[in-house]
Amino acid sequence: MRILVTGACGFIGSSLTDFLLEQKHEVVGIDNFDDFYSRKIKESNIAQALKNPGFRFFELDICSRDAWEKLSTHGIDTIIHLAAKAGVRPSMEKPVEYNEVNIIGTHLMLEFARKQGIKKILFASSSSVYGVNKNLPWSVNDTNLLPISIYAFSKLTGEQLCRYYHENFGLHITVLRFFTVIGPRQRPDLVIHKFVKAISEDREITLFGNGNTFRDYTFIGDIVAGIVGALTYESQGYEIFNLGNSHTVGLLELVATIEDLLGKKARITYLPEQKGDVPYTWSDIQKTTELLNFHPKTDVREGISKFIDWYKKEFAQ
């Protein structure tokens, strides 16, 4: 199988690419090295993959029609679309950019698939699409979704574009809603990376609100297993799956776990709640377990421990 992975240099994209190459798939990776965080980190993420003869990489922007034209001769069988502008809070500051990349970029990907006759597509969505949803845990059967950030809106619109291309052009599309992903290579803007860095350097960390938010933290290895499960799942339609751990952890508990693993106390500053943030996330993974044989294996403490080991190797002086 020759698989196109968009966003191949990112946290999830590079982790997935390494696994696919280990499984002897051919991977075509693209990334535009968006300046949201350091290019050096992304280059490090794919350093091992670049040594593999089964990997071809192109620095391309998903919002460029010319970029998709350049991919038309590479015999792609399947697309795993991970490329996106990420982050809830930054999306509130740059709403047009987020919609351009996450909506127009996704639309161009779908047009490429239609023209190339590529039937199988996996689309990376987000738990953010559920908004402030009191129907806990969050189920893919819940259709009353009211996203409260531009990022969430752009991801839900991407899902709707995927549905349209399935219904009108027969593309087989699987939507994967990721719940807060943790582990080695996590982006610098995400909370565990930020907290580990700040506490290690004896700097203050910032908690918004009263610190009583809860998240469904999911280890990168489990996310990759879920993606691969969707890749091998014989679906001829349009399907949505949650990829989460199905357990929630409070923010203060998360901080305490990091303190314990680092052997250092955090200095905490509290600020008002941020627009676009939801108070909790919690995944119902019954459908994912039944159809994709998805069984998360790594709990939050172990996931944070593995991240810290990676962080010390990559960044500690």
Q: What is the mean pLDDT of the chain?
A: 96
pLDDT digits (tens, 9 = 90+) for 48-85: 999 999 999 999 999 999 999 999 999 999 999 999 99
Percent of the chain with pLDDT over 70: 99
Average confidence (pLDDT) over 190-197: 96
What are the extents of the domains in the chain?
Answer: 2-314
Q: Which of 37, 98, 130, 151 is catalytic?
A: 151
Q: What pLDDT is attached to residue 212?
A: 87
Give 41's pLDDT tier (boundaries 50, 70, 90): very high
Class of domain 2-314: alpha beta
What predicted TM-score, i.e. pTM, was given to this entire model?
0.96
Q: What pLDDT is attached to residue 170?
A: 95
pLDDT digits (tens, 9 = 90+) for 260-294: 999 999 999 998 888 888 999 999 999 999 999 99
Q: How far apart are CA 232 and CA 230, in angstroms?
A: 5
Amino acid at 108: L
pLDDT digits (tens, 9 = 90+) for 225-256: 999 999 999 878 999 999 999 999 999 999 99
Residue 317 has pLDDT above 60, yes or no: no
- 98 is annotated as an active-site residue: no
Q: What pLDDT is attached to residue 132?
A: 92
Separation of first and last alpha carbons in the chain? 41
Amino acid at 32: N
